[in-house]
Structure 1
Amino acid sequence: MTARDRPFLLGLTGSIGMGKSTTAEMFRAAGVPVWDADAAVHRIYRPGGPGAAALAPLVPGAVTPDGGVERGALRGALAEDPGLLGLIEERIHPLVAEDRADFLARAAAPLVVCDIPLLFETGADTWLDAVLVVTAPPEVQRARVMARPGMTAAEFDRFLARQMPDARKRARADYLIDTSLGLDHARAEVHSLIARLSGSRHA
């Protein structure tokens, strides 16, 4: 498959509380295939998936009797030994890449969205054609996140510490959607992008 034959790959990302998942659903509702990196990890970790075999040598306590991976136990192991993270990523990232390749091979569309929370942090921008960052003012972001059940200020700060600052993401983005301007604005921006990018691969 040549570059002109394959879909245009648009990365979608944004920090916690910025509206990334809602924006991804807008693309789906418009008929655009969306590959979800978090959903791919869930598939890999479910019983019968390849995650258990990959992680058993590193974190045997996280492997369930039915051949799945218990994410709570995995988080506990990482809390005790943060150095495990890099080793786990070495084993899981290739499986995520396989899941994505399978999805793209089945996606008969001119445009595909790849929903990746840690897009820039994992270097995904090197293989994507363009990146859309969803954003909102800090006070809107904080209010959204703190409204989630069980969320604490400390946990919110931990999320932010893991993610590239919003300002840096915006500086590296090809496209931006400010979700604080309302759902109708975001939906119109999504439809405008679909119209613009769907024909770009074959232009």
Structure 2
Amino acid sequence: MKIVGLTGGIGSGKTTVAKQFQALGIPVYIADDEAKKLMNRSKIIKRKLKALFGDEAYKDNTLNRPFLADKIFNNAENLKKMNAVVHPKVASHFKNWLKKQIAPYVLKESAILFENGAYKDCDLIITVTAPLELRKKRLLKRDNTTLEKIQAIINNQWSDESKISKSHFVITNKDLEETKQQVQLTHNKIVNLIA
């Protein structure tokens, strides 16, 4: 089973692209969603995050996301520590998920595929891009956040240029119809490559 990594900067539209691959029958693993679930479910992660950031990391036994976001997004060291706790668990969860899939390939969607080294486990990589202003506009609408917070997240991610240089495919997500066509084309190329 081939693993195709799907990445892109925050607000580029990775989830939109992932759903379009799903519509073509490709199983999709959204690493960020699974990480959030594991951060709420795993006793080991809870214990380690509380040890790192204090009891405030959880509120009513649920991850205190605003508190954690404040702790990590302007502090590269804290972000690194949190990733060291969460990412090994996500990697192991992904391996178990992978065993249950039946398809020519699967997509592993992760915003920080390169940053956390997960790209090394992928056979092919797709980077989703979109103009920076459009990404910021989408995020302001979606996340009820500030431009300052968006910029802090962008600063912690690899640039599009760096991601593209290590990718096999690039999908530009500006217009939904065009994006669908690019997804179909990329899917066809991947199927041909792995046949």
Q: What TM-score bracket applies, with the shorter chain setting the length? A: 0.7 to 0.9
The equivalent position to 1:122 in structure 2, one of 96, 112, 116, is 116
Farther-moved stretch of structure 1 (94-103 vs 152-161)? 152-161
Q: Which of 14, 21, 36 in structure 2 is aligned with 1:20? A: 14
In the superposition, the TM-score normalised over structure 1's length comes to 0.82
Could you tell me the percent identity over the aligned residues?
27
The reply on whether 1:142 has 2:136 as its aligned counterpart is yes
Q: CA 1:83–1:134 in structure 2 vs 1: closer, same or farther (change >3 Å)?
A: closer
Task: Specify the alignment match of 2:191 in structure 1.
Answer: 198
Equivalences, count:
194
Shift of the 153–81 alpha-carbon distance from structure 1 to 2, 3 Å rule, reads closer
With over 3 angstroms needed to count, the CA separation of the structure-2 counterparts of 1:198 and 1:156, relative to structure 1, is same
In the alignment, residue 185 of structure 1 is paired with which amino acid?
Answer: E
Contact 1:177/1:186 (CA < 8 Å) preserved in 2? yes
Give the corresponding residue for 1:103.
Answer: 97
User: What is the root-mean-square deviation in Å for CA atoms of aligned residues?
Assistant: 2.5
Cα displacement (A) at 1:52: 1.5
Q: What aligned pairs does 1:70-89 form with structure 2 within 5 A after superposition? A: 70-78=64-72, 83-89=77-83
Please give the secondary structure, in 2, of the residue aligned with 1:58.
Answer: helix
Cα displacement (A) at 1:47 = 4.1
User: What TM-score, normalized by structure 2, do the two folds share?
Assistant: 0.85
Is the helix fraction higher in 1 or 2? 2
**1:4-83 pair list within 5 angstroms:** 7-47=1-41, 50-61=44-55, 62-64=57-59, 66=61, 68-78=62-72, 83=77
Tell me the distance in 1 between the aligned counterparts of 2:145 and 2:53: 27
Distance in 1, matches of 2:161 and 2:192, equals 30
Letter in 1 for 2:188: A
Q: CA deviation at 1:138?
A: 3.0
Spell out, residue by residue over 1:107-136, the C-alpha distance to the aligned partner (whole angstroms, 9 max, x if none): 111110000001111122211111111112
Contact 1:41–1:96, Cα closer than 8 Å, also in 2: yes
Contact kept? 1:170, 1:176, Cα under 8 Å: yes
> If you compute each CA radius of gyration, which structure gives the higher value, 1 or 2?
1
Per-residue deviation, residues 131-181 of structure 1 (Å, max 9, x unmatched): 11111233333333344463322122112111111222222221011112x
| Whole-Å separation in 1 of the counterparts to 2:74 and 2:105 | 42
Gaps of 5+ in 1: 1-6
Q: Which range moves more in the overlay, 82-91 or 159-168?
A: 82-91
What's the CA shift for 1:20? 1.1
Counterparts of 1:80 and 1:169, CA distance in 2: 22
The amino acid of 1:186's aligned partner reads: T
Q: Are 2:176 and 1:183 aligned? A: yes
